[in-house]
Structure formats: structure tokens, C-alpha cells
Chains A and B, each alone.
Chain A
Amino acid sequence: MGVMDQIELPTPIKYVFNWGRKYSLWCFNFGLACCAIEFIAASAARHDFIRHGVIPFAHGPRQADLLVVSGTLTDKMAPAVKRLYEQMPEPKYVISFGSCANCGGPYWDSYSVTKGVDQVIPVDVYVPGCPPRPEALLESIMRLQDLIQGESLKERMERRRRDPITLAAAGVPERESTT
């Protein structure tokens, strides 16, 4: 990342820099279960999240900025998710899509399911639902874009270096109500 995470950018430059980053998210879909179908539905014609600046066809984790974990993570699968996450370049963001990825969902008492992807990798935005509607994915992406717009890359990377597993205490900024 060079100097971008070393120096605090002046506000106007930071604004433009973050604005550019938030509308060019290359997304890597880690499709695991049912939610992956809703992810595909969100990328298909009716919901079409490319209009939000998310490109769902990253060739692999090495070309991606955003990892969407959609579906049940099992203990057997967990090392693969962690490995793919580590292959992604910084700054990287994670959306946990669906109840299973959030906390285990309907398999909360199963012996083979990891109770939440956040036990393995840090998560920025959680999307509830089993499976969530495609609209929920669109909303989560907008929330993530708000987070990217408001953040300082230097601070983010400092936190990451201090503690690579838990993310930001800052979290996602509150959105103004649209109703």
C-alpha cells in the first residue's frame, strides 16, 4: 500500500481518495450455501449490484477488495476461508451474509458448524436473514461504502497491525434514516 497507510491524508484528498475506493469494490464471493444463491440473484439483472460500483467477478482473492462470505461455514471449511482472506491485498473488507455466517444460524447446536465466520476472520458488516433478501445485500454494501467514505486508512491499518483479528471498534457509521 506504500505511504497511504503511513501518513494521515489531508481531508479533501482523503475524501476524494475514499470516494474512489468505495465505488470500485471488486468482490470475491465465497459462496458456501443457500445464501450464495441470493448473492447470485443480487448480481443478476433484477437487483444488479454492479450499479453500486461492486464488481462481482473478481478472478480470485488476490484481485479482490471485498469478501462476501455467504453461507454456512463448517469447521472443515474454516481454514480455506482464512487462507483466502489472507491472500487478499489490504485494504480488505468482509461482509458476512446470512445468519449462518453471522452466528451459525439454524445450525447453532450442530457439532460441525463454526458459529460465525467472525471466529476466523474479522467482519465489517453483518447481514441478518436466512437467507437475506438480495435487497439486504444491497443495503449492506451501501453501509460498507459509508464506512469506507468515513474512515482514515492510516487508522485502519494501525488497528489492523495492533490486532489482526478483531476489527475496528469504530464500526459502521449510523445512516440517516431514509424514511
Chain B
Amino acid sequence: MSELSTRERIHPGTAPGEDYHLEIVGEGDFATADMTLSIGPAHPATHGVFRIVLEMDGERVRSARPVIGYMHRGFEKLAEYRDYRQIMALVNRHDWLSGFSNELGVALAVEQLMEFEVPDRAQWIRMLMAEWNRVLNHLMFVGSFALELGAITPMFYAFREREDIQHMMEAATGGRLHFTYNQVGGVKIDLPKGFLRTSAELTTITRKRLVDYRDLILGNEIFQARTKGVGALPTDVALSFGVTGPTLQATGLPEDSRVTEPYLKYGEIDVPVPVGENGDAFDRFFCLLGRIEASLDIIDQVLDHIGPGPVNSKLPKMVKAPEGATYVRTENPLGQLGYWLESDGGRTPWRLKMRTPSFSNVQAIPYLLEGVLVPDAVAVLGSVFFVVGDIDR
């Protein structure tokens, strides 16, 4: 055994001159080769088809490299071939958990270019739907994050609420995931009878069930042990990566476009912004639950304000945005969503550039994964909330 060199011991059967791509660390009997671990694109520990290549030193991650593009569908290019009505059905699919918020951004951008005045009721309806969509999105992550840490039950709880909310939204919009309810100048049709009452009932029910989530997940000893102090992200690092949404709020910065740069009628109501302290996985989850509660508060306020009136305005046969460019940023469930819309006066945009929250949020993953253990890597991946379609567009 002693005649063998370190390299031969670790890689038996390889010639000394052969090219190795693995680095050997340590000396003598403690020498180990780094292992390259490719997780994904289809792996149960990551949601969606996110692929990440980890350089491992034993159980510890030395460096991580996300490999994206497995879900690249070319939204920005396709948008140049769709007119403004068709774009609504296209953009709500890039972040498939927040369809309404996506189309809202485009609708606002087109209206800004056309200098369109949207009726009050339409604006309140948009806010109502956007907040319900936020609840839907966050419930999904509540379920999936717990699932990745090994708890199956919260998934079923989350889907119990999701089904109720989806059923209600389907009554108004006709869609379960992709609503296509916005149009330039307002929303497609008015709310069905009884929608506001159902909304009020569901906020009460959901709020009651949030208490269960808090007890079940946040109060769980195993959950706390696996998430507290794991993947802590300082505020300045988060800002330098462009991280937004619950991941940024968990670091203690109450940044939210609905507050800092209100659109629709968010300026007229009180928008609570939950913040964390350490920016670790536990805080990110805490903020996620807090944002559900905040959305329910907003829905209650919207229900007080919403009044009768028209929900859309008469449009010309062909919607054409005048020549020019605009940038609209909205608070998507996962963070800040920006649309840079440039028009040359034609039926279709000349350029639609997306700034999607998930893309910016995953930039922080290599930083977060450095030096963590493999089981913690799963907790970090699950707690930086992202949708793969939103990363790759």
C-alpha cells in the first residue's frame, strides 16, 4: 500500500501521466479527491429543472455553479411576434406560479406608453387578484420548502387552500394557473356575483389556517434545527446581487415596490412589509408566511375600497403603443419584476426586456452554498425561492 502514490490510491488504475480534472486535497492518509456532484436537471431535491454543479470536499460544498437554460423558451423574442393582446397569454407563463402579476406588469407598461387612464374599479380588481395570486404562489413555496426538508404534510395543507383560492379565481377569470384576465385598459370582464363575499370568507379561513402553518412548520424543532443559521445572507451582499422579494426582506431590509414606488392604488392603503433579522433560511420562510398575512390584510382593505364602475375602457380595434420606451417595475410574489418595453409604433413591441426576480435571486446561490454541508444545501436551495421558468425565461 505504501508504494502507491496518493493519486494512485484515490484513482486506482490510472496512469501517472493521465490528465486529472480532480484536485487532491490533504496529505497522506487523509488525502481525498474533490468530487464534482451534478444535481439536476431532474432531481427530487431541487424543484423544477434547476441544475447545480457542486464541487465537494467530503460532505462540504467548496463551490457551486448553477447551470441554467434548461427551461429557456425565448419569451423575449416571442414577445416581438405577438401583439399586445396575445402577449398577455404569453407572459403569464414565464413565472407560472404568479401568472396574474406577470401580465399586470405588461399591461401597466403598455398603458404607460399609451397614456391610458384605467378606471378605478379595474385598478382595485387588479390589486385584489394580484394579492390572491401572491397568496397562491407563497402557499406553493410553503408546501415545497417543507417537502424538500422531508415534511410531506404541509404540501397537502397548502394545496387544500390553493384549491379553494383557485376555484374562486377560476370563477372570475376562467383559469386555474394562467388567468389572462388583464387587458390593456383594465380587466377582461367584471367580477362574478358573490366574488367579494367569497373573498372575504376565504381571507378569514386562510388566516385561521396560517396559525396551523406557524405551529406546524415554524414551531417544529427539526425545521428550526435545519434552517436556523443556514445560508445567512447579509443585506449588502443581497443588494449587490440584486436579490429582491422575501429573500431580501429576510435580511432585514423592508424593500417592497408596493411601498417604495407604489403602482395601482397601493399608495392609498397600508402595505405591511414583514422583515427578518439574519437573512437565513428560517427568516426567509418566516418572511414568506408574513407576506401571506400581509396580502390577506391588503385584500381586506381592497374589499373596503372597491366600488362600482366600469372595469375596462373601449379599445381601438388594433392596440398600438406609440413610439417610445418605458420601464415598469412591480412587486411580483418572488421579488421585483421589471419590464422594459420599447415600441416603434407598431402592433408588436420592438423589444420586451424582462428583469425577472428569480434570475437575480439565484445569483446569490453560489455565495450561499460555499462551505455548507450537503443536507444544508437542500435547505438553502429550497429557501431561495425561485421558479425555473422565471430564471430562464
Contact = CB atoms under 8 A, between A and B. Distances in A.
A127 to B, nearest CB: 14
A37 B96 contact: yes
B41 A34 contact: no
A45 B164 CA distance: 12
A72 B73 contact: yes
Interface residues of A, number: 29
Contact of B155 (A44, A76, A110): A44
A37 B97 contact: yes
Interface stretch (A2-10, A25-33, A145-153, A165-173): A25-33
Interface in A78-127: 80, 84, 106-107, 109-113
A37 B98 CA distance: 12
A106 B159 CA distance: 27
Q: Could you tell me the dominant secondary structure of chain B's interface residues?
A: loop
B72 A76 contact: yes
Contacts of A31: 48-49
A38 B93 CA distance: 14
Contacts of B97: 37
A133 B73 contact: no
A106 B90 contact: yes
B96 A77 contact: no
Contacts of B163: 41, 44, 46
Contacts of A157: none
Contacts of A40: 155, 159
B29 to A, nearest CB: 35
Given A46-B160, A80-B41, A112-B74, A130 B81 contact: no
A76 to B, nearest CB: 5
Given A33-B389, A34-B389, A38-B176, A44 B159 contact: yes
A128 interface: no
Contacts of B178: 34, 130-131
Given A32-B49, A34-B178, A74 B159 contact: no
A111 B77 CA distance: 9
B171 to A, nearest CB: 14
B71 A33 contact: yes
B81 A109 contact: yes
B213 interface: no
Contacts of B90: 106
Contacts of B72: 74, 76, 112
Interface string B46-82: 0011000000000000000000011111100110010
Contacts of B159: 40-41, 44-46
A111 B80 CA distance: 13
Contact of A45 (B69, B89, B156): B156
Given A77-B70, A109-B78, A110-B77, 14 more contacts: A32-B48, A32-B49, A33-B71, A34-B389, A37-B97, A38-B176, A46-B159, A72-B73, A106-B90, A107-B73, A107-B74, A110-B74, A110-B78, A111-B74
Interface of B: 41-42, 48-49, 69-74, 77-78, 81, 89-90, 93, 96-97, 140, 155-156, 159-160, 162-163, 176-178, 388-389
